[in-house]
Amino acid sequence: MTGHGGRRTQAQRDAITVEIGYALLSAAFAAAVLFGAVAGPALLFELPGTVERVLLRVGLIGMPVVFLVRVASVLARFPAQRPAGPPVTTAGHTHATSRDTDGKTPRPGGQPSQPGRTSPDS
């Protein structure tokens, strides 16, 4: 359900699914890169026991943290569905919508519907 009580369209559901998939895959990639960068030297080279354990633990603790932060940041940027509201305001001015030549189709920004025609208040 959206914020205004309506149902989501198939396109909206598809967009959300794609965004969730992208968030999960990019988070898994980021977590793997972090683990490889931090714990990789401990796995590849023979290091002192304490250094090796610290690097592995930091890598293992950092992975889920990076994963969760990445998922949250990607999904937080996804635009929320907003119900139609009042006209758009710019610098304190409200832009009315003009009508097309048939008088039915609203035009954003008060622009004329055809090139060469002017709006009465322009």
71/19 Cα distance (integer angstroms): 10
Overall average pLDDT of the 48-72 stretch:
94
Question: In this predicted structure, what is the pLDDT of residue 31?
Answer: 96
Per-residue pLDDT at 100 exceeds 80: no
- pTM of the predicted structure, to 2 decimals: 0.58
Mean pLDDT of 74-88: 66
Expressed in percent and rounded to 5, the helix, strand and coil fractions of the chain are: 55, 5, 40
Q: What's the start-to-end Cα distance of the chain, in Å?
A: 41
Q: How far is Cα 88 from Cα 28, in angstroms, rounded to an integer?
A: 39
Higher pLDDT, 79 or 55: 55
Compute the average pLDDT of residues 88-107. 51
